[in-house]
Amino acid sequence: MVVFILKRAGFALLTLVVATAIAFVLVHWSGSSPGVVALGAGATPAEVHAYNVKLGWYDPWIVQYAHWVAQVVQGHLGTSLIDGRDIAADIAKRLPVTAALAVFGTIVSCAAGILMGIVAAVRGGLVDRVVTATAGILLSLPAFWVGVLLVYVFAVQLRLLPATGFVPFSTNPQAWVRSLVLPVLTIAITSAAGIARQTRASMAETLTKEHIRSLRALGTPTSRIIYIHALRGASLPILASIAIQFIVLFGGSVIIEVLFALPGIGQAMQAAVGSADLPFVQALVLVATLVVVVVNLALELLTRALDPKLRAA
């Protein structure tokens, strides 16, 4: 077990290095100049050059990368080219917003998706066709469009919720909840459809297994067969699809945060990309990869714990 964890952690580290190196190479081969970004179009070439030299921009990229890694290891992610703010502090401030979005989005989509998948698999027939077709359509709908439609219904027409904006939890918990409802609903709709599909397929497969008949022959109640035995049997692929959805949610937060004006990581990413704030982009690639790597690691450990065949091995 320890060997396994060490192996996977090593692999996670390798993935982090690859991702950030890719971002680094991209940034350095792009021909953009941090001096121009930081000092604006008004700066003279001499000023830009001086700025770049101070930054070490003309060193080979590998030297700069090593320097960057050394900084990161010490907890420094650098400062923004645009306004000089500390990137690590800024990300730390934004992370809770995006995390809340992804976590609540995952919870809502799990609840809805698993339930829909179970109903489709167990009931079959018309119910199955309706659920499957609905899931197929929801999967195809672009999240930002769904988001705007939800805003139209709940904010413009019904006036139940704020259209955009964010209130921190510490300021007003109730307003915090209200500001997250529509964003969470928006991302949950698509990912619930994905989880519903996986649940339906895995549940239906488990229900064809011989032990289901044996359980029934022993008089096991239907609800116990479905929610304990069949769901447990289908749990591993469902879990994998939840992990994928979480990762997708985190990546998709860019669009959701822009749409709902939420001050999260995604919004920062959009701004940083738009203004070519390269150190910021670099730092966000690191954070995003870290999220993927940690989720994948958690999934693997959970799978190992949940699969009797792997646990015994």
Contacting another protein within 209-248 (CB under 8 A):
209-222, 225-226, 229, 232-233, 235, 247
Query: Nearest 5°: CA angle at 133, between 131 and 134?
Result: 65
Closest to 38 measured CA to CA, from 22, 50, 20, 24 = 50
Binding test (CB under 8 A) with another protein, winner from 57, 61, 144, 169: 144
5, 109, 206, 222, 240 from 119: Cα distances, Å: 37, 15, 14, 13, 20
13, 206, 288 from 102: Cα distances, Å: 23, 29, 12
* Shortest spacing between CB 156 and another protein, in angstroms: 6
Q: Could you please report the per-residue DSSP string of 79-112? A: B-TTT--BHHHHHHHHHHHHHHHHHHHHHHHHHH
292 contributes a contact to another protein by CB under 8 A? yes
Taking CB under 8 A as the rule, which mask of x and - marks residues 7-26 in contact with another protein?
----xx-xx--xx--xx--x
Neighbours of 312 (CB within 10 A): 6
Tell me the window of 71-79, 81-89, 176-184, 281-289 that interacts with another protein (CB under 8 A): 281-289
Nearest CB to another protein, comparing residues 172 and 214: 214
* Shortest spacing between CB 184 and another protein, in angstroms: 18
Binding test (CB under 8 A) with another protein, winner from 4, 7, 145, 173: 145
Taking CB under 8 A as the rule, which mask of x and - marks residues 21-60 in contact with another protein?
-xx--xx-xx-x----------------------------
Binding test (CB under 8 A) with another protein, winner from 91, 114, 116, 121: 121
Closest to 195 measured CA to CA, from 256, 259, 121 = 121
